[in-house]
């Protein structure tokens, strides 16, 4: 199956910064600001849900690479949004341009890659470890 038709598709997801997704709470720092791991999770969520709704039921995607810079802090109470765009497809590998924003502007940017896999085969491989 060819996935070339995915190129150009976009998605966005958002959430509010709370005590639970701060650097202090997630152990990635000592401040009550939106954590880098939380930003990465939001980017992966936007990417995964975009791909998922365009795959056959027996397939899913897994993240294989991230190259993202977190360039600005976001305080508790502010809304954050991850935006993703599929910029190319190489076989079963999907490459995204990604960015994250808060209510004041961009807070992160980079690239993300996901790989399309068969759900059952991938889970079986993991379970066999």
**Which value, in Å, is the radius of gyration of the alpha carbons in the chain?**
16
Tens of pLDDT, residues 30-55: 999 999 999 999 999 999 999 999 99
The answer to whether 101 and 89 are in contact (CB under 8 A) is no
**Dist. CA 127–CA 58, nearest whole Å:** 17
Tens of pLDDT, residues 91-115: 999 999 999 999 999 999 999 999 9
Query: What is this structure's pTM?
Result: 0.94
Handedness of CA 50, 53, 56, 58 (dihedral sign): positive
Instruction: Give me the domains of the chain, ranges plus CATH numbers.
Output: 4-127 (3.10.129.10)
pLDDT at 2: 80
Whether the predicted pLDDT of 1 surpasses 80: no
């Amino acid at each position: 199956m060819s996935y070339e038709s995915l190129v150009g598709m976009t998605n966005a997801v958002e959430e509010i910064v709370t005590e639970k997704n701060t650097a202090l709470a997630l152990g990635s720092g000592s401040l009550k600001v939106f954590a880098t791991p939380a930003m990465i999770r939001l980017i992966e969520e936007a990417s995964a849900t975009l791909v998922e709704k365009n795959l056959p039921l027996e397939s899913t995607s897994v993240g294989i690479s991230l190259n993202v810079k977190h360039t600005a802090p976001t305080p508790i109470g502010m809304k954050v949004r991850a935006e993703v765009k599929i910029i190319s497809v190489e076989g079963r590998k999907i490459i995204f341009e990604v960015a994250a924003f808060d209510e004041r502007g961009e807070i992160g940017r980079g690239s993300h890659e996901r790989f399309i896999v068969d759900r059952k085969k991938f889970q079986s491989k993991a379970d066999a470890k």
